[in-house]
A and B are shown apart, each in its own frame.
Chain A
Amino acid sequence: MKVVIIKYNAGNIFSVDYALKRIGVEAEITGDIEKIKSADKVIFPGVGEASTTMAYLREHKLDEVICNLKQPVLGICIGMQLLCASSEEGNAKCLGVFDEKVLRFAPQDPTIKVPHMGWNTISHNGEGLFKGLPENPYVYYVHSFYATVGNDTVATTDYVHPFSASLNKGNFYAVQFHPEKSGEIGEKILKNFIEL
Chain B
Amino acid sequence: MLAKRIIPCLDIKDGQTVKGTNFVNLRSAGDPVELGAEYSRLGADELVFLDITASFEKRKTFVELVKRIAQNISIPFTVGGGIHELKDVDTLLSAGADKVSVNSAVLKTPILIDEIAKNFGNQVCTVAIDAKFENGEWTCYLNGGRVPTERKLFEWAKEAQERGAGEILFTSMNHDGVKQGFANEALCTLSESLNIPVIASGGAGTMQHFEDVFKLGKADAALAASIFHFHEIGIPELKQFLRERGVVVR
Contacts and interface: CB of A to CB of B under 8 A. Distances in A.
B142 interface: no
B93 A18 contact: no
Interface stretch (A56-64, A96-104, A125-133, A180-188): A180-188
Given A118-B2, A119-B5, A181-B75, A14 B121 contact: no
A118 B194 CA distance: 17
Contacts of B195: 110, 113-114
B220 interface: yes
Given A15-B98, A111-B192, A118 B220 contact: yes
A154 to B, nearest CB: 21
Q: Is chain A's interface secondary structure helix, strand, loop, or mixed overall?
A: mixed
Q: Is chain B's interface secondary structure helix, strand, loop, or mixed overall?
A: loop
A45 to B, nearest CB: 13
Interface size class of A (residues with CB under 8 A): 35 or more
B230 interface: no
Interface of B: 1-3, 5, 40, 45, 70-72, 74-76, 93-94, 96-98, 120-123, 166-167, 191-192, 194-197, 218, 220-221, 250
Interface of A: 11-12, 14-15, 18-19, 21-22, 47-49, 110-111, 113-121, 138, 140, 142-144, 158-159, 178, 180-184, 186-187
Closest 3 CB pairs of A and B: A138-B250, A119-B3, A142-B123
Given A11-B93, A48-B121, 13 more contacts: A14-B96, A15-B98, A21-B71, A22-B74, A111-B192, A113-B196, A115-B123, A117-B197, A118-B221, A119-B3, A121-B1, A138-B250, A140-B75
